[in-house]
């Protein structure tokens, strides 16, 4: 079937070598595509709520309920688990590779009590067109004004965040600037995560530090990935909800303390070359850690890594001399 589709797309001759026309049309081999679908179906188990039947069948490390299902893998012996072959076993094994990041049943995501329902006027986003030179100049001017106001007003906390990834090791850094106080720096490393999650964790650390400081009424977050900050207030099911739930819980406490408390997110495109952000960006690139032992992966990183491995396998197959044509 795939050969007929490739011939139809290219309008090629029937005697054309299948692997050649398959590569030209961009069609990956059927068995590799099925392998990708199998991996996606195993990963999908992580997106299910903890009370879902599939979650109840898996081992207790991924199940918060104490009462096991009668068919749960926890009730089977090690020998019985080794004898079983099927989707449930594969899903269970996949949980050893991917750490949990979904938390759709968290109270912070419940309609009616969410941050956007009760404190919608307490947060705002300010982004710029990084392809316009006039917008970049305006961005630079406004960020400089924010820095000046924050340095003169003790009720302001200016948080500058950034993250970078090298050798699959993410470095998340946040600098917290408060008037008449030394700059507070947070530094964390994580392995096998994507850039959005690393940036979100830097924002999480910055908000924790700023909201715990005495007398802070305004928190200003400056980041070059403003879309990662917007995911905090995205209440659909998505990876790294664990970080979003923690940030929302901290913001709820912060907003409840004072009616004047608010938080603003400002985008700082890398093209701006804003001094305070350049300092943080430079620090994230100072580290060149190398991973020497296997670690769990985030949900998005696992999906991306699996696709890359399948693509690499297909390239190796096509590069074989007897398949080039």
* Domain match, 257 and 309 both: no
pLDDT in tens, 58-103: 766 544 445 666 667 777 777 777 777 677 777 777 777 777 777 7
Could you tell me the CATH number of the domain that includes residue 154? 3.30.420.10
Q: How confident is the model at residue 4 (pLDDT cuts 50, 70, 90)?
A: low
* Domain match, 87 and 140 both: no
Distance CA 73, CA 96 (A): 14
DSSP 132: -
Q: What angle do CA 102, 49, 294 make, to 5 degrees?
A: 45
Distance CA 56, CA 73 (A): 9
Q: 9 lies in which domain range?
A: 2-99+302-323
* Domain match, 184 and 313 both: no
* Residue pair 237/102 in contact by the 8 Å Cβ criterion: yes
- Per-residue pLDDT at 238: 80
Query: Please, what's the b/e burial string for 180-203 (b: 16 or more CB within 10 A of its CB; e: otherwise)?
Result: eeeebebeeebbbbbebbbbbbbb
* Residue pair 291/191 in contact by the 8 Å Cβ criterion: yes
Which of 231, 219, 242 is CA-nearest to residue 298?
242
Size of the chain in residues: 325
Total domains in the fold of the chain: 2
* Domain match, 312 and 278 both: no
Distance CA 314, CA 33 (A): 10
* Residue pair 101/47 in contact by the 8 Å Cβ criterion: no
- Per-residue pLDDT at 325: 47
Query: Please, what's the b/e burial string for 32-46 (b: 16 or more CB within 10 A of its CB; e: otherwise)?
Result: eeebbeebeebbebb
Q: What is the pTM of this model?
A: 0.78
pLDDT in tens, 220-267: 999 999 999 999 998 887 888 889 999 999 999 999 999 999 999 999
Phi first, then psi, for residue 241 (nearest 5°) are -65, -25
Which of 11, 23, 2 is CA-nearest to residue 325?
23
* Domain match, 26 and 70 both: yes
| 112 pLDDT higher than 80 | yes
* Domain match, 217 and 89 both: no
* Domain match, 131 and 223 both: yes
């Amino acid at each position: 079937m795939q050969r007929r589709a490739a011939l139809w797309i290219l309008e090629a001759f029937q005697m054309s070598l299948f692997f050649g026309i398959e590569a030209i049309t961009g069609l990956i081999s059927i068995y590799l595509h099925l392998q990708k679908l199998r991996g996606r179906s195993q990963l999908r188990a992580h997106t299910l709520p903890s009370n879902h039947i599939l979650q109840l069948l898996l081992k207790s490390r991924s199940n918060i309920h104490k009462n096991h299902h009668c068919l749960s893998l926890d009730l089977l012996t090690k020998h019985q688990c080794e004898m079983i072959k099927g989707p449930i076993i594969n899903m269970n094994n996949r949980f050893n590779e991917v750490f949990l990041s979904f938390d759709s049943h968290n109270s912070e995501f419940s309609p009616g009590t969410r941050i956007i329902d009760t404190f919608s006027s307490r947060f705002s986003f300010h982004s710029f067109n990084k392809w316009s030179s006039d917008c970049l100049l305006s961005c630079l001017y406004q960020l400089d004004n924010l820095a000046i106001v924050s340095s003169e007003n003790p009720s302001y906390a200016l948080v500058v965040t950034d993250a970078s990834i090298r050798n699959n090791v993410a470095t998340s850094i946040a600098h917290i600037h408060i008037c008449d106080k030394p700059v507070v720096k947070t530094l964390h490393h994580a392995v096998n995560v994507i850039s959005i999650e690393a940036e979100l964790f830097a924002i999480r650390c910055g908000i924790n530090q700023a909201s715990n400081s005495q007398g802070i009424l305004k928190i200003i977050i400056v980041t070059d990935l403003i879309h990662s900050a917007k995911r905090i207030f995205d209440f659909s099911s998505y990876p790294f909800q664990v970080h979003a739930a923690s940030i929302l819980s901290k913001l709820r406490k912060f907003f409840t303390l004072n009616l004047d408390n608010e938080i603003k997110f400002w985008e700082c495109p890398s093209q701006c070359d804003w001094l305070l952000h350049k300092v943080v960006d430079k620090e994230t690139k100072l580290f060149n850690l190398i991973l020497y032992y296997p670690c769990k992966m985030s949900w998005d990183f696992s999906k991306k890594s699996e696709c890359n491995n399948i693509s690499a396998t297909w390239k190796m197959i096509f590069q074989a001399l007897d398949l080039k044509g």
